[in-house]
Every structure is written in C-alpha cells, then in structure tokens.
Chains A and B, each alone.
Chain A
C-alpha cells in the first residue's frame, strides 16, 4: 500500500462550539428559527464513507459502484433546534433548551468560541440562513447505507460520544457572555 499523506490546516466546530453555553447555561443557541429542520451528520460517518470510496478498487480506479457518483450525505434524522436540544437532554440527563438567536448574536457567539478563520464562521452563518429558508428540510442517507452497509449516527449517538463536553457544570451559574444576549 502506498503511504497516506495529509495536510492539515485548521479545524472548525459546529454543535461542539456551543458546549460552553450547554455547560454553563443549559442552552443551545442556534440562529435557525423555530420550525425549520436540519439533519446534522457525524464527521465519523463522512470519514467512513470517504474511506470506503478511497479504498475501493475497480477496473477503472475506484469501485465501479462509486466511480462518477455525486453523493449527498446528511444525518439520518431531521431535527428542529428544539429537537436537537431534546436529544441532548435525554442523553445527558439534564435539561438543555434551544434558543433561537439572531444572526448578529450567532456571529458574536461563534467569534467568542471558535479559533476558526472568519471565513469558516461565515460559512456556518450562511448554512444557518439556508436552514431558516427551509432549504435543509431533507435527509439523504441512501448513498451512505449503500456504500457502507451501515446506518448513520443518530443525534443521540453524537451527544453520547461528546457527553463530557455538554454536561452542565455546577448549578448552572451564568459565567458566559450569553447572558448579554437579549431574552
């Protein structure tokens, strides 16, 4: 096997970005509106899908079942912000509430929490705007199931994996800038 060579530049975080709010305030602040849906996907599932494709072999390179394909891979469950918070509450054993914040507030939270480049934050803000426009109200897991033979991770699985990052600290004393957000 030939060597694997990688180039790593920077890291961005999505739901994990809100771990401080979850730990301090029991809040999941997302600018996605109350009723629209999204289907978060686990990074591990994308990695697994990519690994299957990259290591597949056919007469013309990649496995013929994958070669030339354009695959869309979301998570398996459509969730509102409240449903994501519910999934977290169920797994973590403590109450977490979704808060629909404004885009301006989201920028402030993301800037405070993330070391990512500002363009990556802009990418997240744009994705949230797609959610508010109702353009993420779908799931697409057929390719993942077809290629890997497995079921993608449910939101509850994600919170189980990162339980320590989200569990509320102490009595929920507000030590975070989120207090500055308007109610």
Chain B
C-alpha cells in the first residue's frame, strides 16, 4: 500500500514511476477536494507515462446541469481530462483508456483513489 498525499503532484509522479505499474484505475474519492485530487492524479498519470487507464465515473453526469447538479457535472470535466490524453502525443497515457459510468450504488459508494497494476 502506497499512501497518496494530495497536493504534491511531483511526488505522485515519482511514486507511480517507481512502482513500475503500467495500468491505473482512477476512482474519484469521497472527499471535499475530490475534483482537485482527481485532476492531480490524472495529471500525474500522464506525466508518469502510464498507458492503460480505467477511470470510474458516474452515471447521470451527462444529464446533470452545471448549476443544479454541479458535483455530478464535474465528472464530465474529469472524463474530458482523461479522454484528452488520447490526442496528446507527449504521453503514452490515453493509448489504452476505458471509462465506466457507474450507476447509483446500492450499498457502498466509491472509496479508493487509484490502484495500480
């Protein structure tokens, strides 16, 4: 288990590189800084040049309105950041992406931030 201290992207990039992983599953955490933490992880994933990225998004983000359901709508912004890597020649990230929009969880919602394979 490698702890992630949000706010130090440079350290996260090093952690990802040192782990030797080639696959990341990014799950936005249940945290007040969910958006910033996830943006940092997506950016760190790109800088660490990790080719396979699975992003866990949420169903309904596409029909959420920015003024009425802003927290849900943020998932669209995060998805766009992940997808943007596809056309970014400076990184391998985006070479093999996948996004799951998970429906309303019956029991326990998203918890992890990322896991590496």
User: Residues on A close to B: CB < 8 A?
Assistant: 1-16, 38-43, 46, 49-50, 53-55, 58, 60-62, 66-75, 116-120, 122-123, 126-127, 129-130, 135-136, 140, 143, 153, 155, 158, 161-162
Contact B116 A11 (CB under 8 A): no
Contact A135–B60 (Cβ < 8 Å): yes
> In the complex, how many residue pairs between chain A and chain B have their CB atoms under 8 Å apart?
200
Residue of A8, A55, A143 near B111 (CB, 8 A) is A8
Q: Is the CB of A7 within 8 A of B113?
A: yes
| CA A135 to CA B61, docked complex, whole Å | 10
* A3 and B19 within 8 A (CB): yes
Instruction: Choose one: B63, B101, B109; the contact of A135 (CB below 8 Å).
Output: B63
Known contacts: A14-B104, A41-B102. The answer to whether A119 contacts B71 by CB under 8 A is yes
C-alpha spacing A69/B22, complex, angstroms: 18
Chain B nearest Cβ from A67, distance in angstroms: 5
Q: Contact check, B105 vs A11: say whether CB atoms are below 8 A apart.
A: no
26 pairs across A/B with beta carbons < 8 Å? A1-B117, A4-B116, A5-B1, A12-B30, A41-B104, A41-B105, A42-B106, A43-B109, A46-B56, A46-B105, A50-B56, A53-B98, A61-B22, A61-B96, A70-B101, A72-B59, A73-B103, A116-B30, A117-B31, A119-B32, A126-B70, A126-B72, A127-B60, A130-B72, A143-B100, A153-B106
Closest Cβ neighbor of A128 among chain B residues? B104
Please give me the 8 A-B residue pairs with the lowest Cβ-Cβ distance, nearest first.
A61-B96, A74-B103, A12-B109, A41-B103, A40-B106, A9-B29, A126-B69, A120-B30
Given contacts A8-B112, A11-B30, whether A50 and B25 have CB atoms under 8 Å apart is yes
